[in-house]
Amino acid sequence: MARPRNTESDALILAAAAEALLQDGYDGLVVDEIARSVGVAKTTVYRRWPTKNHLVVSVVAGWQGVVDVPNTGDEADDIANDLTTIAGGMCHVLDPAPIRRLVAELAAARMRDDDLGSAVDRLWSDRRAATAAVLERGIAGGALRRDLDPEVVTDELAGAVYYRVLITGGSLDDAYARALVRTVLAGAR
């Protein structure tokens, strides 16, 4: 019979991995060093996260938080508020300089590693699904154009944020999230 997972060890491993990612970046994260710093065997880490990629994705998932977009019944306001919540959440997660560097490293690494690419896709799938659900609700309720493609609009929102993260280094504050959503919705109505 397998021993139960030690949630305290899990939390320590994730905290150590987060610190290493912020300090040394994706390429600098070494699972053996994480295990040693926490005082566990590396097999303990690999039992929970089979690859470095799985560990990194778990750390980033913890930074993301949960996407919560309640439906209040006021379609026009809900769409703007919900999309601003989603975009603002992305901005807050991705804004700190160490995170921006990590995103650039992950983007490069995912091009070389299919396993990491799949893990990153899964990481953002909840946020993409929440965005698509908001847009589909708006289309069904008549607040957004019927010919609107939720996948394209989701890419517009995420693409603008990632452009700032990877290319311009521009601010990712609440004002930017609101302006981005306002601009995207102007074309969606």
Q: What's the pLDDT tens digit per position in 23-77? A: 988 888 999 999 999 999 999 999 999 888 889 888 888 887 666 666 666 666 7
For the cut 80, the answer to whether the pLDDT of residue 143 exceeds it is yes
- Entry pTM: 0.77
The Cα 140–Cα 138 span in angstroms is 5
| CATH fold for the domain made of 67-188 | Tetracycline Repressor; domain 2 (1.10.357)
Question: Mean pLDDT, to the nearest integer, of 129-152?
Answer: 93
Locate 55 and state its tokens.
């560990």
Residue 94's pLDDT band (boundaries 50, 70, 90)? confident
Q: Give pLDDT, residue 116.
A: 80
Percent of the chain with pLDDT over 90: 45
Burial category of 114 from C-beta neighbours within 10 Å (exposed 0-12, middle 13-18, buried 19 and up): exposed
Task: Assess contact for 140 and 159: CB atoms under 8 A.
Answer: no
For 7-61, CATH gives 1.10.10.60
Mean pLDDT over each residue of the chain, to the nearest integer = 87
The Cα 149–Cα 136 span in angstroms is 9
| Same fold yes or no, 7-61 and 67-188 | no
The Cα 115–Cα 111 span in angstroms is 10
Backbone angle region of 142, left / alpha / beta, with phi > 0 → left and psi within -120 to 50 → alpha: left
Q: Give pLDDT, residue 67.
A: 63
> What single-letter DSSP state applies at residue 146?
T
Domain ranges of the chain: 7-61, 67-188
